[in-house]
Amino acid sequence: MPDWLQGRHALITGGGTGIGAACATHLHAAGAKVSLLGRRMEPLQQVAGRVEGTAIQCDVADRAQIDRAFDEARAANGSIEMLIVNAGIAESAPFHKMTRESWDRIMAVNLTGAFDCAQAAIGDLLKSEHGRIVFIASVASLRGVPYAAHYAASKHGLLGLSRSLASEYAKTKLTVNAVCPGYVDTPMTDQSVARVSQFTGRGEEFARDAITNMNASGRLVEPDGIGTMVMTLCLPQSGDISGAAITIDGATSA
């Protein structure tokens, strides 16, 4: 049973950077074969090189690309037994200036993309002895975020999707969970720092401190801890953990 992950196929969206790359590292270390999806091939190939994985170009906002990429992943690594829905984007704007285009972009990747990925893999996952879906949600799934109403709405929706699938498949071997991080030390947070710095006209150091202090711990979350949790959720021993919203946020939502 502890060796169950050996040779099993984990597909990770957004696997070339940040949290997705950390998930790849930990799942590979546990013996899994990993397929890494994203739009830019260069970071995907770098991570794939480290984890003996398969890099596949895919925009998760496009269902046809998802179907093609998942077929490519199956051809390389077999039936999908673990799906890590991690690809996401963030933008910020005061609500009265938020554009419909920005709202649509965020929803297409963070929510509709997650729906499409889960649906594209569900047949495989239900055939597995220990099928797993892990959605990388956010503390923004649990509370509102000023200047990011679209992002928070997409992440609330993602948690609703996760809990609904967990309930729907409760009597099967498939588990479905959401991991909800606070601010994590990744490129997405670097971009938030740049935006806050621009809005406020204060320096990058001010902006990084302000964002870091949004976590109650006063530290950014390490991607490694999220990778460890995702790998743990994929173990057969985690079969009774389903429908959970697991916060990894240094007590921010406590």
Q: Which of residues 120-149 bind ligand NDP (CB under 6 A)?
A: 136, 138
Beta bridge partners of 9: 33
210 lies in the binding site for ligand NDP (CB under 6 A): no
- The residue range among 46-54, 67-75, 177-185, 200-208 that interacts with ligand NDP, by the rule CB under 6 A, is 177-185
Binding of ligand NDP by 16 (CB under 6 A) = yes
Active site residue 151: yes
For ligand NDP, the binding residue among 5, 9, 10, 20 (CB under 6 A) is: 20
Q: Using CB under 6 A, which of the segments 2-10, 70-78, 180-188, 200-208 binds ligand NDP?
A: 180-188
- Give the shortest CB-14-to-ligand NDP separation in angstroms: 3
Residues that bind ligand NDP (CB under 6 A): 13-14, 16-20, 38-40, 58-61, 86-90, 109, 136, 138, 181, 183-184, 186-189
Point out the residues that are catalytic: 151
